[in-house]
Structure 1
Amino acid sequence: MAARPPLVALKDVRLQDGPRPLFDGVDLAVEPRSRAALVGRNGAGKSTLMKVVMGLIEPDSGDRSVQSSTRFAYVPQEPVITGATLLDYASSGEAEPWTAEAWL
């Protein structure tokens, strides 16, 4: 049986924040039906790397490839909360008000 290509892959990715290098030479491949965890100290760049993987941030160099059927779900660390109340925010998307109340 032939190996399937990875859902998402990074090859020799490099990213800097001004003069400070965040990543240099990152290689990553997430295979179909695999489980992965990203572990590191606070401020190590885990969230930034995930943004590169999802295509929210472009690396300074290197390649990123994603299978066309791949979907990402992302919950930002610091969401922009809009609305007068938390219930307004929770129901501002596609959620019905009763569903938003149950979540809260």
Structure 2
Amino acid sequence: MTHDCSTPEFIVNCTVNVQDMCQKEVLVKEDGIHYRKSCASSGACLIASSGYQQFCTSKLNSVCITCCNTPLCNGPRQKKRPQLSAAVTLNTLWLLVFSLILLSFALC
């Protein structure tokens, strides 16, 4: 992929009451992964996606078609923030408490 598909120049408004879904095709080829994003009617998209399920293997020459119906839903995945584990948070808290105790002894 050489472009950020979420920039305004790549955003398309689908035809109201006709193209009520976003369709995303992911093709795995020898030269890399190719994406095709378009508007589609719900019937056409769901038929296409179910027809290609057997070819959706993530291996060479596989094709995956997915459908969604909310704005920008076929765009890039949102980056998830890493969640701090309870152990890391607890360890950090204990380190802070221990540091404060040492500091209070040093000041006395």
TM bracket (short chain): under 0.3
The alignment's TM-score, normalised by the length of structure 1, stands at: 0.24
Query: What TM-score results when the alignment is normalised by the length of structure 2?
Result: 0.24
Structure with bigger gyration radius: 2
Q: Which is richer in helix?
A: 2
